[in-house]
Structure 1
Amino acid sequence: MMGKPITGRSFGGCIRYVVDKQDAKILAAEGVRMQNTSTLAHDFNLQRKLRPELGKAVGHLVLSWSKEDLAKLNDDIMVERAKEYMEKVGIRDTQFVIVRHSDRAHPHLHLIYNRVDNNGKTISDKNNFAKNVKACKEITLKYGYHLGEGKEKVNRQALKGKEKIRFELYDAIKAAMKTATTWKGLEAALAKQGIKIAYKFRSGTSEKQGVSFEKGEIKMKGSAIDRSLSYAKIDATLNRNQHVHLYHAAMKANEPLVANQFSEAIRQSIQAEYHHSPDSGKGLLQVLLESQFVGAAPDPMGDADVARHKRKKHEAEQSQSQGISR
């Protein structure tokens, strides 16, 4: 399951787009009359007046499932999942309407809600994207829905607004990280594409603990763009890139002992990554051969060589032990 949170200014425009679409089906609503688009907009706007200074009072969410999940879904279940999502991200005690669309191959629905709740308080949109990712992942894993194929498979041409910028940032940062070995290098590479980096520091210190990326008027935390783009994970990747670069330099200078030191540092980095996320770990030789810094030379102590070396050492120890016992 995937979510796309949006905020807007016009209930009328949003409702007409969602409700008047061909084959649109209202599945559920609360606090509003479902007679037609006019009564819906009127009721939303009436409550909106409790917080007249709030410009973007329109909450709009698109929840989508993979077409492989179609057999697991019906109207009632989709409403239950939408309400569960709302609870997880803090959309409570407010008007809403849930509408299912059938214009795509994959099942999806639209949720329109009032950011002015029933008590006249504002429902925050802070960290909307991070909360959205967390909620969708939890619901997907809980009910065994089909997991997405990753951001690389997303159709960029279909994206708009903030979501479009998010994927532009993702693509640019990931590309720059392939060759950058320091934060300064990453900053320079992204600056060429109009992207700035802003750091968050631990209170009262110069220690960096967070990172955000800015493009135009949009500023997003690295972890909100993608979990792999948190400060800690980017820093680990840059450090590993630096070690790969130094490894190749040592090999070129015919300094195998120095190269082995760097290969061991890279191996430890890979092991740490694998421990945190078993599906993403790579072998040492694969990392070195994928390197874009220098024409990659074979690792003198690749994974296969290390395994063979350990096996021979173990056999020698066993042989020695048997000799002593005799």
Structure 2
Amino acid sequence: MIAKISATENLGGALGYNFKKVQHNEASVLCVNELREGFDGTYRIDKVLRDMQALIPEKCRTKKTVFHCSLNPHPDEKLSDEQLTQIAKEYMEALGYGNQPYIVFKHNDIAREHIHIVSLRVDSRGQKINDKFEKRRSKKITDALEKRFGLIPSSKVADKAVEETPKIDTTQRNIKKQVASALRIVLKHYRFCSLGELNAILSKYNLAVEEVKTEFRGKKYDGLVYVPTDEKGNKADPPIHASDIGRGVGYTAVQNRMQKSKQAIKPLIPAIRNKVLQTMRTSPNTEKELRQRLEEQGLRVVIRKNESGRIYGITFIDDKAGIALNGSRLGKGYAANVFNTYFSNPTHNPFLDKTLYGSPSVCLEQSATVQSSQQNTEESDNLIDELFEDMADGSFLPTGNDDWKEAAWQRKLRKLSKVNIRRRKR
């Protein structure tokens, strides 16, 4: 079960998003806490909004007073309303919101049912509910709830989302929606340190990314465009600007992802390097053989060539761990030109030279040592936290299109608000 937590100052937007689905029979109210129901036993947005707003002190220093969370079980889970209600109550109690007013919605507008919870981040005295290490604590709570209710682990939710994300089909009309869906999964599941590594990942989905630089009124701007491709990597449709998809896939977001990844991948490099080395020591004669043998090791390889057929780039991808590494990031002995030289003359295999690459036992021992120490350090915890915190914030995830719909809804409300302000000034 994956929890996505967000903080906002727009209480009406958070409630409106969920009540709009109730109005269209795409959601229902499961339960409430510290909120009054109507005379007919139902709940209306105006009354819930009024009750919650009344509990926020006028002189409240906290800007983002609204807590909004979605709890997303594995798509194969079939939970009753009673189970979902109990899960929501125990989750809120454990997170520190047990005495807060909140309302729980069950969404059924997509195949996988899930719940949304709207609450307040401040109490009646205006004091903020403790949100220190909130996402980390949330992960521990959902792990405990999975065990208590016998649920499928959250890691399998992410794995299934990655596996089931389809390739971009340019024969369909909804290309931008397809691109957005693929990017939401890729940018949250995978770690990469360059656009080349990101492109290697995206090639699996018939998609590519390009950096664009523009200048406006003397100021330089950097941006990204996403290009649907065919099976050979050729452009198959006009590029789509990142700004047309959302901030979560823009230049700044991708740069931030790359910066985070640089530290996160360090403990994982020895294990990937060892798998590549062991595979190359089997002396694969062709690139096809290399791919097949790496797949047996759980790795995928993307080889880039120029028009003359020379290998100028090679990237190794571990889809399960969510990591992409250019050959040179594994070490000088794994750069693209080394593989180009090898496949030009497979009879001479430099990877068999123990003076250059070490013995297999040493490599395995080093890899095991790194993996062992990784499990017992705070850095390891941070790696896991980063994956799930990234899943939980902002833009995206194996939660269908809900989060992006909500973000669009919030933007629409802000725009309407600005328009009304301008009209009043006139």
Query: Which TM-score applies when normalising by structure 1?
Result: 0.57
Which of 190, 200, 216 is equivalent to 2:252? 216
Deviation at 1:159, TM superposition (A): 11
Q: Is residue 246 from structure 1 mapped to residue 333 from structure 2 by the alignment?
A: yes
The residue correspondences of 1:8-87 to structure 2 (distance < 5 A) are 8-21=8-21, 22-23=24-25, 24-35=27-38, 36-49=44-57, 52-70=60-78, 73-87=79-93
* Closer, same or farther: CA 69–38 of 1 in aligned 2, 3 Å: same
When residues 166 and 260 of structure 1 are mapped into structure 2, their CA distance, relative to the original with a 3 A threshold, is: closer
Partner of 1:137: 143
> How many residue pairs get matched?
239
Q: Which residue pairs with 1:103 in the alignment?
A: 109
Aligned residue type for 1:104: I
Q: Unpaired segments of 5 or more residues in structure 1? A: 180-191, 196-213, 278-326
The answer to which structure, 1 or 2, has the higher relative contact order (CA under 8 A, 6+ apart) is 2
Please tell me whether residue 266 in structure 1 is matched to residue 274 in structure 2: no
Aligned-residue offset at 1:263 = 4.0
Q: Is the 8 A contact 2:158 2:189 kept in 1?
A: no
Structure 1 residue 16: Cα displacement:
2.0
Looking at structure 2, the residues matched to 88 and 177 of structure 1 have their Cα atoms a distance apart, in angstroms, of 42
Q: What is the distance in 2 between the residues matched to 1:220 and 1:80? A: 37
SS in 2 for 1:48: coil
Match of 2:192 in 1: 173
- In 1, Cα distance between equivalents of 2:187 and 2:45: 35
**Equivalent residue in structure 2 for 1:236, among 253, 262, 267:** 267
What is the match of residue 114 of structure 1? 120
Give the deviation of 1:60 after TM superposition.
Answer: 0.8
Deviations 1:75-101 (A, max 9, x none): 121111112222333334211111112
Matches of 1:76 and 1:159, distance apart in 2: 37
Q: CA deviation at 1:107?
A: 1.8
Could you say if the C-alpha distance between residues 254 and 132 of structure 1 is closer, same or farther in structure 2, counting changes exceeding 3 Å? closer
- How far, CA to CA, are the matches of 2:196 and 2:137 in structure 1? 25
CA 1:268 to 1:50, structure 2 compared with 1: closer, same or farther past 3 Å? farther
Contact 1:63–1:110 at 8 Å: present in 2 too?
A: yes
Per-residue CA deviations over 1:18-62 (Å, capped at 9, x if unaligned) read 123223322211222233111100111111125533221111111
Letter in 2 for 1:148: V
2:92 and 2:251 mapped to 1: Cα distance?
29
- CA shift, 1:124, in A, is 4.1
Relative to 1, partners in 2 of residues 1:175 and 1:12: Cα closer, same or farther, differing over 3 Å? same
| Amino acid across the alignment from 1:79 | T
Contact 2:65 2:122 in 1 (8 A): yes
1:198-218 deviation digits (Å, cap 9, x = unpaired):
xxxxxxxxxxxxxxxx97389
Give CA deviations for 1:95-131 in whole Å, capped at 9, x if unaligned.
Answer: 1111112212112111001111244311244544433
Counterpart residue type for residue 236 of structure 1: P
Aligned-partner Cα distance in 2 for 1:167–1:55: 32
SS across alignment from 1:99: strand
Please give the root-mean-square deviation of Cα atoms over the aligned residues, in Å: 4.4
Equivalents in 2 of 1:130, 1:165: separation in Å? 21
Give the deviation of 1:266 after TM superposition: 3.1
Deviation at 1:269, TM superposition (A): 4.1
- Go from structure 1 to structure 2 and tell me whether the alpha carbon gap of 1:176 and 1:219 turns closer, same or farther (over 3 Å shift): closer
1:153 is displaced (CA, Å) by: 4.1
Distance change >3 Å, CA 254–CA 88, structure 1 → 2: closer
Give 3-state SS (helix, strand or coil) of 1:82's partner: helix
Tell me which amino acid in the other structure corresponds to 1:171.
Y
Q: 1:152 matched to which residue of 2? A: 162
Q: Indicate conservation of the 8 Å contact 2:67/2:121, yes or no.
A: yes
Structure 2 gaps of 5+ residues are 39-43, 167-176, 199-210, 213-221, 224-249, 274-326, 343-347, 376-426
Question: Which structure's CA Rg is the greater one?
Answer: 1
Distance of 1:76 and 1:123 partners within structure 2: 27
The equivalent residue for 1:209 is: none
CA contact 2:60–2:126 (8 Å) conserved in 1 = no
Q: 1:259 to 1:176 in 2, by over 3 A?
A: farther
Q: Does the Cα contact within 8 Å between 2:162 and 2:186 map onto a contact in 1?
A: no
What is the deviation of 1:3? 1.4
Deviation digits for residues 209-249 of structure 1, max 9, x if unmatched?
xxxxx973899899xx8xxx694x52223454766643786
Amino acid at match of 1:136: T
Aligned position for 1:203 = none
Alignment partner, residue 89 of structure 1:
95
- Percent of paired sites with the same residue: 17
| TM-aligned CA deviation for residue 68 of structure 1 | 1.9
Distance change in 2, residues 1:255/1:25 (3 Å): closer
The DSSP-based 3-state class of the residue aligned with 1:216 is helix
- Partner of residue 353 from structure 2, selected from 232, 253, 256: 256
- Measured at CA, do residues 269 and 131 of structure 1 come closer, stay the same or move farther in structure 2, by a change above 3 Å? farther
